[in-house]
Amino acid sequence: MQIRAKIANGNILLSLLFITIFLLTTSTVKAEEVNTSSKEEHCSFYRVFLNWAPEKIIILKNLDFDNEIFRNLANQEIKNNITFSIDCIADEDNKACNPLQQLKENDFDRNKISEETWNKLISKFHFSEERAKISWSIGGVCSGLTQEEFFREVYKIGTKIIEDKADLNDYIGKSMLLEEWQELFGGSDKVNLMCEYDLDDEKYYFSQLVLFWDKELKHQINKDIEHLEALKISNCPKSELIYLREPKKVESK
């Protein structure tokens, strides 16, 4: 099977990165303060990526990606069909944070996460130490949060999105227009959808949601944010049906 993603090269790279579940953060913070300051000083808002795992597995299989990555995704993430990651987005006038530099001083340490927080992540989202390490090194080290704070936020927003919003599992095998999908998650001004086009099926499939939340994780906010222009543009068609791939059909592809 072939997958054709009708997006620019930059967004193709974005899709590939999400196969490993985590997107490179675009957080901007003062590097010298990153380990000591609170999120109120750095996080203007959160950007949340919600991925449909069956679609990511299809992409991965067709790109002949690393078998170990595929096994981890298939064995761990397919249980609830949804994966997610968060970025802490800071004020533009702060200096850019260099994750590699910060990791030299603040690498992932499981002991810096409380047993309560860790057990919640394991029970609800099938977290492992390896997955947490990747999450911290790419999306957390430049957040301005401690490791305990960051993973509490990961759990909090993951729970809020999955429990308070529409459950995508209720729409498996169904199809809707772009506007109808957007309404499930707050409307066109608050959510961005990404799709993949299946040449064999000649259908568009839902791949990813991008949502924005206030820094206290209480309210979903408008996506009209100037310095995130690229993520405001959906590659999904407006007038064609968009499908949600059935997990049971993934292995047959």
Task: Say whether pLDDT at 164 is over 80.
Answer: no
Average pLDDT over residues 204-211: 88
Taking the C-alpha atoms of 16, 21, 26 and 32 in order, what is their torsion angle to the nearest 10 degrees? -130
pLDDT higher than threshold 70 for residue 91: no
Give the pairing of strands 175-176 and 203-214.
unpaired
Whether the pLDDT of residue 95 is over 60: the answer is no
Confidence of residue 14 (pLDDT cuts 50, 70, 90): very low
Alpha carbon distance 216, 133 (integer Å)? 24
Lowest mean pLDDT among 4-8, 44-48, 94-98: 4-8
Class of domain 3-31+39-249: alpha beta
Check: pTM over 0.85? Answer yes or no.
Answer: no
Domain parsing of the chain, residue ranges? 3-31+39-249
Whole-number Å distance between alpha carbons of 144 and 78: 31
Q: Output the average pLDDT for the chain.
A: 69
Phi, psi of 144 (to 5 degrees): 85, 5
- Residue type (1 letter), 133: K
Contacts of 17 (CB under 8 A, 6+ apart): 23, 24
* pLDDT higher at 149 or 5: 149
DSSP readout, the chain?
A: --EE--S-HHHHHHHHHHHTS-PPP-----GGGTTTS-HHHHEEEEEEEEEEHHHHHHHHHHTT--HHHHHHHHHHGGGTSEEEEEEEEE-TTSPPP-HHHHHHHS---GGGS-HHHHHHHHHHH---HHHHHHHIIIIITTTTS-HHHHHHHHHHHHHHHHHHS--GGGGTT-EE-HHHHHHHTT-TTTEEEEEEEETTTTEEEEEEEEEEEETTSS-B-----GGGGGGG---S-SSS-EE---GGGTTT-
Q: Which of 23-37, 101-115, 130-144, 161-175 has the lowest mean pLDDT?
A: 23-37
